[in-house]
């Protein structure tokens, strides 16, 4: 079962019966890793949940930023994040408890030494459905492995995003996380990650399901000579997914599944990008730029606002990420808030602590249910005049944005204006 009960409780672990946030009761430990421990618990309505505890309370802001974004992900092949909170002992992420056996357990129970090729490929293809969705929503899992893929009633489900990066250390944004045998080299050495990093993880997972053990870097042993049913095409796909160089690796989960001969259908997950009413093409373009801005600047949220000529108010036309549902359609009075200030001045601004900035529109933020820690705003310019603003909120590594980010963001905003106008979107 996914709820693998540990035989020993390590020092500092939560005991059965322990209450958290006055609404969750711990039943038993499930697993422990470098980032913390996972527990089976019961919520106040007697529903089973999984609770991940991260013990570095110094990273509370960063934890909140990532958790708010993960809580908006909706896909049948992803374990849903339902709550997050902190106390004096740690940060907690509450997740749907997916009952079933993880693929590591399936392999241990039925591997001979690996699983049948058709079965293993099917599991990998289902995992690619989850990965395509999270990558489209600008999230990288970073720890794709058999133990984080649960085989249950609805097939393979991706679990334990935890928080999709490690907390703690002098520079938590660059420290490697995950399980070394399934980690892409760029993750292992702390370099930038991308969807290709998760492609490495799913390729390593499939290799393991086929052979019974994880791959060694640059293993040149021919699988077709060892594993019945492994074709040259399948082996070539695996090696392309396991390339040490990201730029030579298969670029996406969608492409990896296609190369396996199991192309995945249209995504059924909920988009984190929303926009006000308008033409379908216009909504799509504006939502796309909000979503892309979130990914480019590693933000938990991003939005595009445009001046209303009649009222001179700033109207939020599209948003992506945490708080998107509430912010779309919000009107900011002329010159109001940090965004209004950037439009009035025609200059970008990076704010390290929104809550202490006198320009911050606290009441409007509270009304949307999203009070950011940090943000960056650059004007949308047409012929040198500001016609709106691009905002990105809360860098996911917890650090503030700076001058170099502002320069990049202004270039992105200029491209946004050009592309929207070329697409016939009224601004």
The reply to whether 288 and 376 lie within a common domain is yes
Q: Can you tell me whether residue 58 is helix, strand or coil?
A: helix
CATH code of the domain covering residue 345: 3.30.450.40
Max intra-chain CA distance, the chain: 72
Domain end: 32, 64, 96, which one? 96
Q: What sign does the dihedral 207-219-160-297 (CA atoms) show?
A: negative
The reply to whether 213 and 248 lie within a common domain is yes
Highest mean pLDDT among 82-91, 213-222, 233-242: 233-242
The reply to whether 413 and 316 lie within a common domain is yes
219 is catalytic: no
Which of these ranges, 93-97, 103-107, 217-221, 325-329, has the smallest mean pLDDT? Answer: 217-221
Residue pLDDT, tens place only, 6-54: 333 344 689 999 999 999 999 999 887 656 788 999 999 999 999 988 8
Q: How far apart are CA 343 and CA 365, in angstroms?
A: 18
How is residue 270 written in tokens? 């909920």
Beta strands in 236-383 (DSSP E): 273-275, 299-307, 314-321, 331-332, 349-351, 375-382
Q: Provide the Cα torsion 160, 206, 270, 308; round to 10°.
A: 100
The reply to whether 30 and 67 lie within a common domain is yes
The reply to whether 122 and 161 lie within a common domain is yes
Residue pLDDT, tens place only, 131-174: 999 999 999 998 899 999 999 999 999 998 755 443 333 333 43
Q: Can you tell me whether residue 293 is helix, strand or coil?
A: helix
Question: Could you tell me if residue 106 is inside a domain?
Answer: yes
Residue pLDDT, tens place only, 281-315: 556 889 999 999 999 999 999 999 999 999 999 99
The reply to whether 356 and 303 lie within a common domain is yes
Question: Could you tell me if residue 363 is inside a domain?
Answer: yes
Q: What integer pLDDT is reported at residue 370 of this predicted model?
A: 82
Q: How far apart are CA 263 and CA 308, in angstroms?
A: 44
Domain end: 96, 114, 137, which one? 96
How is residue 395 written in tokens? 């860098």
Strand 19-20 to 149-152 pairing: unpaired
Question: Could you tell me if residue 265 is inside a domain?
Answer: no
Distinct helix (H) and strand (E) counts, the chain: 12, 16
User: One of 102, 143, 394, 405 is an active-site residue; which one?
Assistant: 143
Residue pLDDT, tens place only, 323-371: 898 899 999 999 999 999 999 999 999 999 998 999 998 888 887 778 8
The reply to whether 229 and 114 lie within a common domain is yes
State the total domains in the chain: 3
CA distances from 416 to 232, 288, 392 (A): 44, 10, 14
Question: Could you tell me if residue 7 is inside a domain?
Answer: no
CATH code of the domain covering residue 134: 1.10.510.10
pTM: 0.85
The neighbour count for residue 262, using CB atoms within 10 Å, is 16
Phi, psi of 125 (to 5 degrees): -65, -40
Q: What integer pLDDT is reported at residue 118 of this predicted model?
A: 97
The reply to whether 220 and 292 lie within a common domain is no
Tallying the residues shown for the chain, one arrives at 427
The reply to whether 355 and 415 lie within a common domain is yes
The reply to whether 181 and 216 lie within a common domain is yes
Range of the domain at 348: 273-422
Question: Could you tell me if residue 13 is inside a domain?
Answer: no
Mean model confidence pLDDT for the chain: 87
Q: What integer pLDDT is reported at residue 171 of this predicted model?
A: 38
Q: What integer pLDDT is reported at residue 49 of this predicted model?
A: 96
Residue pLDDT, tens place only, 170-191: 333 434 455 788 989 988 887 8
Q: What integer pLDDT is reported at residue 10 of this predicted model?
A: 41
**Can you tell me which residue has the tokens 């192309």?**
263
The neighbour count for residue 346, using CB atoms within 10 Å, is 12
Question: Could you tell me if residue 67 is inside a domain?
Answer: yes
Nearest CA to 107 out of 120, 97, 98 is that of: 120
CATH code of the domain covering residue 81: 3.30.200.20
List for the chain the helix, strand, coil content (%; round to 5): 35, 20, 40
The reply to whether 363 and 247 lie within a common domain is no
The reply to whether 106 and 180 lie within a common domain is yes
Question: Could you tell me if residue 380 is inside a domain?
Answer: yes
Q: Please give the residue that has the higher pLDDT: either 107 or 222.
A: 107
Q: What integer pLDDT is reported at residue 323 of this predicted model?
A: 87
Question: Could you tell me if residue 78 is inside a domain?
Answer: yes
């Amino acid at each position: 079962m996914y709820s693998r009960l540990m035989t020993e409780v390590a020092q500092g672990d939560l005991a059965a019966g322990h209450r958290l946030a006055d609404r969750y009761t711990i039943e038993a430990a499930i697993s422990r890793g470098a980032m913390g421990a996972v527990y089976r618990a019961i919520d106040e309505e007697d529903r089973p949940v999984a609770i991940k505890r991260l013990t570095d309370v110094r990273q509370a802001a960063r934890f909140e930023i990532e958790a708010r974004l993960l809580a908006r992900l909706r896909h049948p092949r992803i374990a849903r994040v339902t709550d997050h909170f902190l106390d004096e002992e740690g940060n907690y992420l509450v997740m749907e408890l997916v009952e079933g056996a993880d693929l590591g357990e399936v392999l241990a129970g039925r591997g001979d030494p690996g699983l049948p090729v058709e079965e293993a490929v099917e599991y990998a293809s289902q995992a690619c459905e989850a990965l395509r969705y999270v990558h489209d929503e600008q999230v990288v899992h970073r720890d794709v492995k058999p133990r984080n893929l649960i085989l249950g009633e609805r097939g393979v489900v991706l679990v334990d995003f935890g928080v999709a990066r490690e907390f703690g250390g002098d520079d938590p944004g660059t420290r490697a996380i995950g399980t070394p045998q399934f980690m892409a080299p760029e993750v292992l050495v702390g370099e930038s990650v991308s969807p290709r990093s998760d492609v490495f993880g799913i390729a390593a997972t499939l290799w393991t399901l086929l052979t019974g053990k994880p791959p060694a870097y640059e293993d040149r042993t021919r699988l077709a000579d060892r594993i019945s049913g492994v074709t040259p095409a399948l082996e070539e796909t695996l090696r392309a997914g396991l390339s040490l160089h990201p730029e030579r690796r298969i670029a996406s989960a969608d492409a990896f599944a296609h190369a396996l001969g199991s192309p995945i259908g249209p995504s059924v997950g909920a988009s984190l990008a929303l926009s006000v009413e308008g033409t379908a093409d216009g909504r799509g373009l504006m939502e796309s730029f909000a979503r892309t801005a979130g990914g480019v600047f590693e933000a938990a949220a991003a939005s595009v606002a445009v001046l209303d000529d009649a009222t001179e108010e700033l109207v939020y036309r599209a948003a992506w990420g945490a708080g998107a549902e509430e912010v779309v359609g919000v009107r900011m009075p002329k010159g109001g808030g940090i965004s209004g200030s950037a439009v009035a001045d025609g200059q970008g601004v990076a704010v390290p602590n929104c809550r202490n900035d006198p320009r911050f529109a606290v009441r409007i933020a509270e009304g949307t249910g999203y009070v950011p820690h940090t943000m960056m705003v650059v004007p949308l310019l047409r012929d040198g005049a500001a016609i709106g603003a691009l905002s990105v909120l809360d860098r996911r590594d917890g650090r503030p944005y700076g001058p170099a980010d502002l320069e990049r963001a202004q270039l992105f905003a200029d491209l946004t204006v050009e592309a929207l106008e070329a697409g016939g979107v009224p601004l």
